[in-house]
Chain A
Amino acid sequence: MLQIRRDLVDSIVAHARKDHPDEACGVIAGPEGTDRPERFIPMLNAARSSTFYEFDSLDLLKLYREMDARDEVPVVIYHSHTATEAYPSRTDIKLAQEPDAHYVLVSTRNPETAEFRSYRIVDGVVTEEDVEIVESYMFANTGSDDKPDS
């Protein structure tokens, strides 16, 4: 399951809307070992395309250096689909290379409502997961002592 703050969901959707009809992409970094997305980092789509996205290679290096220095990992990797559903394409699956990340897909095909879905993509296998949107992580059930999700 992906647990994510509402303001971060809003930031992702706003980025996707802003870049439409191009695909938008970015990362939400979080402290290593927490699985908690915290720092919203919109990235430039170097492909500037409505059907493809790719982080610029030097931006990618800068991003990973910065995350390393802050003991962060890419908890969420997001991108938008502009004309199709928020489900990973064959290309998305083939190129997914962060087995610990939540891959978030947003579809901007409908101007009124955005689809927001999350997946794990490991060794070419896609598993959709529930998304729990919370106002704050402080009061959310994150500890191991909490009751299991029903």
Chain B
Amino acid sequence: MAVTVSIPTILRTHTGGEKSVEATGKTVSEIIDDVESRHSGLKARLVKEDKLHRFVNVYVNDEDVRFAGGLDAEVADGDTVTILPAVAGGMR
């Protein structure tokens, strides 16, 4: 069994339009590398200098990985990893 990775609209250009892809790995970092190996360009949109981009949210099931170890957050078979761009902005 593998992990299902849910891809947001803006990144589906990297997955041939697919809304979700399968991946294997024990951590969020390994999952991203595995997806990158088949859908190149995705990683650069998510990770910068070994950290998640401030305005990209990644969840394992219902948990924001920012509060669960970031890229080192653990992932188990059958989990769902959801990627969502932050909805944010401001006057300045």
Enumerate chain A interface residues (CB-CB to B < 8 A): 23, 25, 27, 43, 47, 49-55, 57-58, 60-61, 64, 73, 77, 79, 81-84, 88-92, 95-100
Among the listed A52, A57, A58, which residue makes an inter-chain contact with B89, where contact means beta carbons less than 8 Å apart?
A: A52
Enumerate chain B interface residues (CB-CB to A < 8 A): 8-10, 55, 57, 59, 62, 64, 66, 82, 84-92
The 5 nearest A-B residue pairs measured at CB: A97-B85, A52-B90, A92-B89, A54-B88, A55-B87
Instruction: Give the Cβ gap from B6 to chain A, nearest Cβ, in Å.
Output: 8
B84 touches A61 (CB 8 A): yes
Chain A residues closer than 8 Å to B55, beta-carbon distance: 95, 97
Chain B residues closer than 8 Å to A50, beta-carbon distance: 91
Instruction: Give the Cβ gap from B83 to chain A, nearest Cβ, in Å.
Output: 10
Instruction: Give the Cβ gap from A122 to chain B, nearest Cβ, in Å.
Output: 10
Distance, CA A61 to CA B85, complexed state (A) = 10
Q: Which residue of A lies closest to B11 (CB)?
A: A97
Q: Which residue of A lies closest to B67 (CB)?
A: A57
Q: Which residue of B lies closest to A27 (CB)?
A: B87
Chain A residues closer than 8 Å to B57, beta-carbon distance: 57, 60-61
Distance, CA A64 to CA B59, complexed state (A) = 12
6 chain-A/chain-B pairs, Cβ below 8 angstroms: A23-B90, A54-B88, A57-B59, A82-B91, A92-B89, A97-B87
Distance, CA A98 to CA B87, complexed state (A) = 9
Distance, CA A90 to CA B89, complexed state (A) = 9
Chain A residues closer than 8 Å to B89, beta-carbon distance: 52-53, 79, 88-89, 91-92, 95-96
Distance, CA A96 to CA B87, complexed state (A) = 7
Distance, CA A42 to CA B89, complexed state (A) = 16
Instruction: Give the Cβ gap from B80 to chain A, nearest Cβ, in Å.
Output: 10
Distance, CA A54 to CA B55, complexed state (A) = 9
Among the listed B10, B64, B88, which residue makes an inter-chain contact with A61, where contact means beta carbons less than 8 Å apart?
A: B64
A98 touches B10 (CB 8 A): yes
B90 touches A92 (CB 8 A): yes
Among the listed A27, A53, A58, which residue makes an inter-chain contact with B88, where contact means beta carbons less than 8 Å apart?
A: A53
Chain B residues closer than 8 Å to A52, beta-carbon distance: 88-92
Distance, CA A88 to CA B64, complexed state (A) = 28
Given contacts A55-B86, A91-B90, A91-B92, 7 further A-B contacts (CB under 8 A): A47-B90, A52-B91, A54-B86, A61-B84, A84-B91, A91-B89, A98-B87
